[in-house]
Amino acid sequence: MSSEKTNQSWGGRFSEPVDAFVARFTASVDFDKRLYRHDILGSQAHARMLAEAGVLSSAERDAIVAGLDEIRGEIEAGTFEWRVDLEDVHMNIEARLTERLGVVGKKLHTGRSRNDQVATDIRLWLRDEIDAILAELNRLQAGLLQLAEAEADTIMPGFTHLQTAQPVTFGHHLLAWFEMLSRDHERLLDCRRRVNRMPLGSAALAGTTYPIQRQVTCELLGFEAIGGNSLDGVSDRDFAIEFCAAASLAMMHLSRFSEELVLWTSAQFQFIDLPDRFCTGSSIMPQKKNPDVPELVRGKTGRVFGALTGLLTLMKGQPLAYNKDNQEDKEPLFDAADTLRDSLRAFADMVPAIKPKREIMREAARRGFSTATDLADYLVRKGLPFRDCHEIVGHAVKYGVDSGKDLAEMSLDELRRFSDQIEQDVFAVLTLEGSVNARDHIGGTAPAQVRAAVQRGRELLAQR
């Protein structure tokens, strides 16, 4: 038998060490070491539970808990040596604990496997990540409410097909993003409930013969429930897939928002200005001010979509229970969480600093016959069928296109060429203010409704 040793946690069955390349290829410590805090937290809870179950003495428990605290200090001080030959964060920490405590350190792994240990670590880490993401999402929504309230009366064109449709207020438009982000918050909060289920105690796949007390560990780690099946506990990654799905939807919303910001800052729109600190210039064109933050968020959306697709593909062919494939779950999950959190942070910093160019927005709303529907509604109130009104207004718009006049710029005589039901009072309907104020219902663009929606939004944030 070779005198060389492989990983001491499992090397007893092997007659030769792992090939050096294979050791590097199969190791995950370079990326999973970011789980160290959660690995230590889970191990300390496991040690405390083993002591309550009579598997460890109180002295052994205390030594393990204290030793793990000291190891966390080493990691955070940058003095901890991460070894590729020990494969992952779990064995690196356990090996260091054994160095410090000897035989007592070797007892920590009693009644568990790396399979349920890593599943627990990822859930603990993702739970914290979701909380951090929700905090940034709340901050962004608060910024949207602040800006929407300030711009409740600012008129801009609303679009369909990127063509002028009807006038809206800038505050109303911003609140559309608030609604989307509210649904993202709901999805992430609901996802967190399923993340917060404890697999520890599943051991390798079948549970353990030791008298473990899973409820104790569950309470110590703040899980809401205990996983009901050991096979599922070690092999389930649908919580990570669900998170990436929720993250993908949130990034899709931010990407759409980004697209509008890019358009609005262009010379063709000039609806808003972004502060210089969120933009960059050009190395060759001195006049350029590029909206890099929204452009990057728009681009980074693809990374999160890729993480979702990658995890679905990773899991689709796996038999029960744990397989080494699952080592590939961490990097896309880490990247998706990092990308979403950073994108939300960038937007939360940027959105309250957006400067609308109100006069340009208003002038754009005056173009494109944005009050055409208001004229049709005016005629309906005169007793005409809507479809007839639609046709009448269509003829008026055609005349406006040919003559270069907006509906509000036509004289009463010109408008009456299309219907004798039109009277002097029509001009109140054709103004931009009249149009937006007329939509005075929940969800409408009237300034009063925008302010009411802002108040409801603030009450919602206060309840979280």
Q: Which two tokens stand for residue 239?
A: 């919580």
**Other C-beta atoms lying within 10 Å of the C-beta of residue 437:** 18
Query: What whole-number distance in Å separates Cα of residue 53 and Cα of residue 110?
Result: 12
Enclosing H/E stretch for 352: none
Amino acid (1-letter code) at residue 380: V
Length of the chain equals 464
Cα separation, 460 vs 454, in Å, equals 10
* Residue 340 and residue 304 in contact, taking contact as beta carbons nearer than 8 Å: yes
Please report the DSSP string for 415-441 in residue order.
Answer: HHTT-TT--TTHHHHHSHHHHHHH--S
CB proximity list for 380: less than 8 A, separation 6 or greater: 386, 389
Annotated active-site residue 282? The verdict is yes
Structure tokens at 52: 């309550």
170-195 and 114-150 helices, crossing angle to 10°: 160
What is the rounded CA–CA span in Å between residue 11 and residue 19?
A: 13
Q: Is residue 114 classed exposed, middle or buried when 0-12, 13-18 and 19+ CB atoms within 10 A define those classes?
A: buried
Residue 238: which of 250, 228, 246, 249 has the closest Cα?
A: 246
DSSP letter (8 states) at residue 19: P
Q: In angstroms, how far apart are the furthest CA atoms of the chain?
A: 106
Tally DSSP H helices, then E strands, for the chain: 20, 6
Q: Which of 161, 283, 411, 441 is catalytic?
A: 161
Cα separation, 198 vs 121, whole angstroms? 10
- Whether 161 is a known active-site residue: answer yes
Catalytic option among 57, 58, 266, 282: 282
Sorted by sequence, the CB contacts under 8 Å of residue 401 that are 6+ apart come out as none
What is the four-CA torsion angle of 106, 109, 115, 118, rounded to 10 degrees? -90
Q: Which two tokens stand for residue 153?
A: 């009366």
The residues annotated as belonging to the active site are 161, 282
